[in-house]
Amino acid sequence: DGGITQSPKYLFRKEGQNVTLSCEQNLNHDAMYWYRQDPGQGLRLIYYSQIVNDFQKGDIAEGYSVSREKKESFPLTVTSAQKNPTAFYLCASSRQGGYTFGSGTRLTVV
């Protein structure tokens, strides 16, 4: 079955650490996206990529980094520069029309 897989489901980070969230899709979609979701805030776009080896900042890119070396993969690194990283992170992909979302990674700073 085609889909988009995020891992891990839960992630705990100590202050000052970088952590990387994985996002893999086998839908052959060109575009991929990372969103952050906080309670009552809806989804905010962190980074997006419309093609391999290219990506663009979204609305809240500070403290995050991404890479797009393969069409199937779009990992997100939450760096120590992100001061409030505790949130639910959602990855999505699209070709045209609707987005397909992963099941999310809940990141908590301990």
Partner 1 sequence: SQQGEEDPQALSIQEGENATMNCSYKTSINNLQWYRQNSGRGLVHLILIRSNEREKHSGRLRVTLDTSKKSSSLLITASRAADTASYFCATHPGANSKLTFGKGITLSVRP
- 50 part of the interface to partner 1, by CB under 8 A: yes
**Closest CB 101 distance from partner 1, rounded Å:** 4
Which of residues 59 and 69 has its CB atom nearest to partner 1 in the complex?
59
Determine which residue in the list 11, 27, 45, 52 makes contact with partner 1, applying CB under 8 A: 45
Q: Does 43 bind partner 1 (CB under 8 A)?
A: yes
Using an 8 Å Cβ cutoff, are 34 and 76 in contact?
A: yes
Q: Is 75 among the residues that bind partner 1 (CB under 8 A)?
A: no
Q: Go through the chain and tell me how many residues it has.
A: 110
102 contributes a contact to partner 1 by CB under 8 A: yes
Q: What distance lies between CA 57 and its chain's CA centroid?
A: 12
Give how many residues touch partner 1 by CB under 8 A.
26
β-pair partners for 57: 47
Angle at 10 between CA 9 and CA 13, to 5 degrees: 140
Taking the CA atoms of 60, 38, 49 and 14 in sequence, report the sign of the dihedral they define: positive
Closest by Cα among 19, 46, 13 to 55 = 46
Smallest gap, in angstroms, from Cβ of residue 79 to partner 1?
Answer: 23
Kindly list the residues in this chain that would bind partner 1 in the complex (CB under 8 A): 6, 31, 33, 35, 40-45, 48, 50, 58-59, 88, 90, 92, 97-104, 106
